[in-house]
């Protein structure tokens, strides 16, 4: 087992909390701006931040449409990863921090606004230049404060707390242009890329280390714990014993993509088939992640997506055989 039980349980807890919170956010998006809103003829005349930050919904009617959108998303992700890797090579820490700040701010704003819409979304504030719901205004302010603490104050609690909400906001950007077939195909494509990036080219490992060591930010769950032990030789007998190094700690991490992509798949299931199969998919993804953490070994890196994808597809199959789809 790679990490101690406490650290493992914290990673798994944040993962499932992010999945459940993400599903709530996706459901709220659907109720106010998606298919459910269209079916009930719910419209918002005022300008909405969520509406402005998310794409228009499209229907993928043909297999070729599904393949095309998945290829487009994967190419876009590869380009963004390439740009990020280039920034790590030239060591432009300031630009990387700006990148993180913008992404985190946008995702948190979307997520918090959608969580607040059922409570205060109907209260409209006229700011002369623009009309916004009270939910949008509070979301922007809260997201800005949390982003500053996350990026610049280096608070581990705030960092992991915001991870619970960020991926729901991120997922809402993808949900309008995907269906569950496209999301499933995307899972498979990302899993193949993850294996290549971790086991073959190893550039994903290099980027993760650069984030933590140079930028002091990590795009995912980050939990330092305990003391790292190194092997040292005793002077009188030829035997190795563990010696604690007070300057080092163990670190348990889980990449943001490992949370976001299964949530995208579960979110498309939620919109199409409802809560129960979506929860089954998320629970199955959690179990597959737990299995990976059980079999993984210390000081080795593993691509999590192939395991999580297998769990998602297993959850989909269970829902299908149970007559829920």
Report the chain's mean pLDDT, rounded to a whole number. 87
Q: Which tops the pLDDT comparison, 205 or 191?
A: 191
Could you give the percent of the chain with pLDDT greater than 70? 91
Q: Say what the pLDDT of residue 44 is.
A: 61
Nearest C-alpha neighbor of 315 from the set 274, 283, 267: 283
pLDDT band at 82; cut points 50, 70, 90:
confident
Q: Say what the pLDDT of residue 247 is.
A: 46
Segment 38-47 shows an average pLDDT of: 68
242 three-class SS:
strand
Asked if residue 245 has pLDDT above 90, the reply is no
| 78 and 204 Cβ atoms separated by less than 8 Å | no
Q: Say what the pLDDT of residue 232 is.
A: 41
Which sequence spans correspond to the domains of the chain? 5-276
d(C-alpha 283, C-alpha 13), whole Å:
11
Rounded to 5 degrees, what are φ and ψ at 296? -75, 155
Provide the token pair at 249. 């700690």
pTM over the 0.85 mark: yes
Q: Which tops the pLDDT comparison, 183 or 241?
A: 183
Q: Which tops the pLDDT comparison, 50 or 228?
A: 50
Nearest C-alpha neighbor of 255 from the set 208, 187, 217: 208
d(C-alpha 127, C-alpha 174), whole Å:
30
Q: Say what the pLDDT of residue 227 is.
A: 61
Q: Which residue bears the tokens 């809103």?
A: 37
pLDDT band at 315; cut points 50, 70, 90:
very high
Name, in order, each residue with C-beta under 8 angstroms of 290's C-beta and a sequence gap of 6 or more.
Answer: 8, 12
Rounded to 5 degrees, what are φ and ψ at 222? -135, 115
Distances (CA, A) of 216 to 96, 124, 156, 210: 11, 39, 11, 8
Asked if residue 234 has pLDDT above 70, the reply is no
Asked if residue 129 has pLDDT above 80, the reply is no
Provide the token pair at 65. 């449409």
Segment 22-26 shows an average pLDDT of: 97
Q: Say what the pLDDT of residue 90 is.
A: 79
């Amino acid at each position: 087992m790679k990490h101690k039980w406490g650290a493992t349980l914290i990673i798994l807890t944040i993962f499932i909390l992010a999945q459940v919170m993400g599903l709530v956010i996706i459901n709220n998006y659907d109720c106010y701006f998606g298919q459910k809103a269209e079916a009930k003829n719910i419209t918002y005349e005022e300008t909405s931040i969520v509406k402005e930050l998310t794409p228009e919904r499209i229907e993928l009617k043909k297999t070729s449409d599904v393949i095309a959108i998945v290829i487009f998303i994967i190419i876009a992700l590869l380009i963004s990863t390439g740009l990020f890797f280039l920034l790590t090579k030239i060591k432009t820490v300031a630009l990387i921090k700006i990148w993180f700040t913008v992404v985190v701010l946008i995702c948190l704003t979307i997520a918090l606004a959608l969580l607040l819409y059922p409570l205060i979304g109907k209260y409209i504030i006229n700011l002369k230049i623009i009309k916004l719901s009270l939910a949008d205004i509070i979301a922007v302010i809260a997201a800005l404060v949390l982003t500053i603490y996350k990026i610049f104050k280096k608070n581990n609690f705030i960092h992991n707390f915001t991870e619970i909400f960020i991926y729901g906001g991120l997922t809402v950007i993808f949900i309008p242009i995907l269906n569950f077939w496209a999301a499933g195909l995307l899972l498979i494509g990302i899993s193949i890329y993850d294996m290549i990036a971790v086991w073959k080219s190893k550039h994903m490992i290099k980027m993760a280390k650069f984030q933590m060591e140079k930028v002091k930010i990590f795009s995912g769950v980050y939990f330092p714990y305990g003391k790292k032990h190194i092997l040292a030789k005793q002077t009188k007998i030829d035997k190795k014993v563990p010696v604690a190094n007070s300057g080092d700690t163990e670190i348990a991490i889980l990449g943001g993509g490992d949370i976001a992509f299964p949530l995208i798949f579960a979110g498309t299931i939620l919109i199409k088939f409802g809560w129960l199969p979506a929860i089954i998919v998320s629970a199955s993804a959690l179990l597959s992640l737990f299995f990976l953490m059980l079999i993984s070994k210390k000081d080795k890196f593993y691509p999590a997506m192939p395991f999580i994808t297998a769990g998602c597809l297993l959850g989909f199959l269970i829902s299908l055989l149970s007559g829920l789809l």
